[in-house]
Amino acid sequence: MFTFLLWLALLIFCWPLALLALVLYPIVWLLTLPFRLIGISVAAVFALLTAILFLPARVLRGRG
């Protein structure tokens, strides 16, 4: 919501820049999508490694 209000303010003060931002936003989103996917994958690998490292402690702790 804040981003939309900021864009409306930009539209009022400098409409060509607001329209340029509106056109470029999907292109920038598509360009950054692979980096976000890599970040999600790296976070998943770290979560898996953490689970593997802490598995013996969880098994030895038991149901208590």
| Contact call for residues 7 and 18 (beta carbons, < 8 A) | yes
Mean pLDDT along residues 20-41: 95
d(CA 40, CA 1): 25
What pTM, to 2 d.p., does this model score?
0.62
- Residues 32-39: contacts with CB within 8 Å, 24+ apart? none
The domain tally of the chain equals 1
Confidence of residue 64 (pLDDT cuts 50, 70, 90): low
**Which is nearest to 21 in space by CA: 8, 32, 2, 33?**
8
The model's pLDDT over 41-52, given as tens digits with 9 standing for 90+, comes to 999 999 999 999
Residue 19 lies in domain: 2-61
Contact 25, 7 (CB under 8 A): no
At 31-40, the pLDDT tens digits run 999 999 999 9
Separation of alpha carbons 20 and 47, rounded Å: 39
